Structure 1
Amino acid sequence: MGITYDDFLDLDYDPTETDLVCEFYVEPAADMDWDDAASRVASESSNGTWAELQVEGSIRDLSATACDIDEDSGTVTVAYPDALFEPGNMPQVLSCIAGNILGMKAVDRIRLLDCDWPEQLATSFPGPQFGTSVKSELLDAGERPITATVPKPKVGLSTDQHAQIGYEAWTGGLDLLKDDENLTDQAFNPFEDRLTESLAQRDRAEDETGETKSYLLNVTASGTEMLERVDLAAEHGCEFVMVDVVTTGWAAVQQVRERCERHGLAIHAHRAMHAAFDRVPTHGVSMRVLAQVARLCGVDHIHTGTAGLGKLENEDTPGINEWLHGELYGLNDVLPMASGGLHPGLVPALLDALGTNIGVQAGGGVHGHPDGTHAGAKALRRAVEAAAAGEPIADAAEDTPELATAIDKWGTETPR
Structure 2
Amino acid sequence: MTGIKYEDFVDTDYEPTDTDLVCEFVLEPGEGMDMMDAAGRVASESSNGTWAALNVPDRVTELSATTFEVGDGNITVAYPGALFEDGNMAQVLSCIAGNILGMKAVESIRLNDCEWPEELATSFPGPQYGSDVKTELLDARDRPATATVPKPKVGLSTEQHAQVGYDAWVGGIDLLKDDENLTDQSFNRFEDRVKQSLEMRDRAEDETGDRKDYLVNITAETETMLDRLKLVAEQGGGFVMVDVVTAGWSSVQTVREHAERHGLAIHAHRAMHAAFDRMPHHGVSMRVLAQVARLCGVDHIHTGTAGLGKLENEDTVGINEWLQSDLYGMNDVVPVASGGLHPGIVEPLLDAIGTDVMVQAGGGIHGHPDGTAAGARALRQAVDAYQAGIPLSDYGQDHEELGVALDKWGTDTPR
Runs of 4+ in 1 over 2 A off after TM superposition: none
- Match of residue 210 from structure 2: 211
- Match of residue 125 from structure 1: 124
**Distance in structure 2 (CA, Å) of the matches to 1:150 and 1:325:** 25
- Match of residue 233 from structure 2: 234
- Match of residue 329 from structure 2: 330
Question: 1:55 is aligned with what amino acid?
Answer: V
SS of residue in 2 equivalent to 1:260: helix
- Match of residue 177 from structure 1: 176
**Distance in structure 2 (CA, Å) of the matches to 1:271 and 1:64:** 30
Question: 1:276 is aligned with what amino acid?
Answer: A
- Match of residue 341 from structure 1: 340
- Match of residue 106 from structure 1: 105
Asked if 2 retains the 8 angstrom alpha-carbon contact of 1:351 and 1:388, the reply is no
- Match of residue 294 from structure 2: 295
**Distance in structure 1 (CA, Å) of the matches to 2:385 and 2:109:** 43
Asked if 2 retains the 8 angstrom alpha-carbon contact of 1:253 and 1:297, the reply is yes
SS of residue in 1 equivalent to 2:62: helix
Question: 2:384 is aligned with what amino acid?
Answer: E
**Distance in structure 2 (CA, Å) of the matches to 1:385 and 1:47:** 55
Residue 53 of structure 1 pairs with residue 23 of structure 2: no
Can you list the C-alpha shifts for 1:341-388, whole angstroms capped at 9, x where unaligned? 000000000000000000000000000111110000000011011112
SS of residue in 1 equivalent to 2:76: strand
- Match of residue 373 from structure 1: 372
How far off is 1:394 after superposition? 1.3
Question: 2:107 is aligned with what amino acid?
Answer: D
**Distance in structure 2 (CA, Å) of the matches to 1:56 and 1:356:** 55
TM-score with structure 2 setting the length:
0.99
Unaligned runs of 5+ in 1: none
- Match of residue 17 from structure 1: 18
Question: 2:11 is aligned with what amino acid?
Answer: D
Question: 2:41 is aligned with what amino acid?
Answer: R
SS of residue in 2 equivalent to 1:62: coil
Alignment of 1:66-145 (within 5 A): 66-71=67-72, 74-145=73-144
Question: 2:45 is aligned with what amino acid?
Answer: E
Question: 1:89 is aligned with what amino acid?
Answer: N
**Distance in structure 2 (CA, Å) of the matches to 1:284 and 1:143:** 37
**Distance in structure 1 (CA, Å) of the matches to 2:300 and 2:276:** 20
How far off is 1:91 after superposition? 0.4
SS of residue in 2 equivalent to 1:63: coil
How far off is 1:85 after superposition? 0.1
**What is the number of equivalent residue pairs in this alignment?**
414
How far off is 1:30 after superposition? 2.5
Can you list the C-alpha shifts for 1:262-289, whole angstroms capped at 9, x where unaligned? 0010000000000000001110000000
Quote the sequence identity (%).
72
How far off is 1:57 after superposition? 2.1
**Distance in structure 1 (CA, Å) of the matches to 2:371 and 2:241:** 26
Asked if 2 retains the 8 angstrom alpha-carbon contact of 1:26 and 1:109, the reply is yes
Asked if 2 retains the 8 angstrom alpha-carbon contact of 1:342 and 1:362, the reply is yes
**Distance in structure 1 (CA, Å) of the matches to 2:169 and 2:108:** 46
Can you list the C-alpha shifts for 1:317-339, whole angstroms capped at 9, x where unaligned? 00000000000001000000000
- Match of residue 263 from structure 2: 264
Which sits farther off after the overlay, 318-327 or 391-400?
391-400
Can you list the C-alpha shifts for 1:39-97, whole angstroms capped at 9, x where unaligned? 100001001111111111210000000000111xx110000000000000000000000
Question: 2:301 is aligned with what amino acid?
Answer: I
**Distance in structure 1 (CA, Å) of the matches to 2:299 and 2:321:** 15
- Match of residue 149 from structure 1: 148
What is the Cα-based RMSD across aligned positions, in Å?
Answer: 0.6
Asked if 2 retains the 8 angstrom alpha-carbon contact of 1:304 and 1:321, the reply is yes
Question: 2:61 is aligned with what amino acid?
Answer: R
- Match of residue 247 from structure 1: 246
Alignment of 1:38-49 (within 5 A): 38-49=39-50
**Distance in structure 1 (CA, Å) of the matches to 2:29 and 2:215:** 44
**Distance in structure 1 (CA, Å) of the matches to 2:251 and 2:61:** 33
**Distance in structure 2 (CA, Å) of the matches to 1:308 and 1:388:** 22
Question: 1:173 is aligned with what amino acid?
Answer: G
**Distance in structure 2 (CA, Å) of the matches to 1:228 and 1:173:** 31
- Match of residue 275 from structure 2: 276
- Match of residue 386 from structure 1: 385
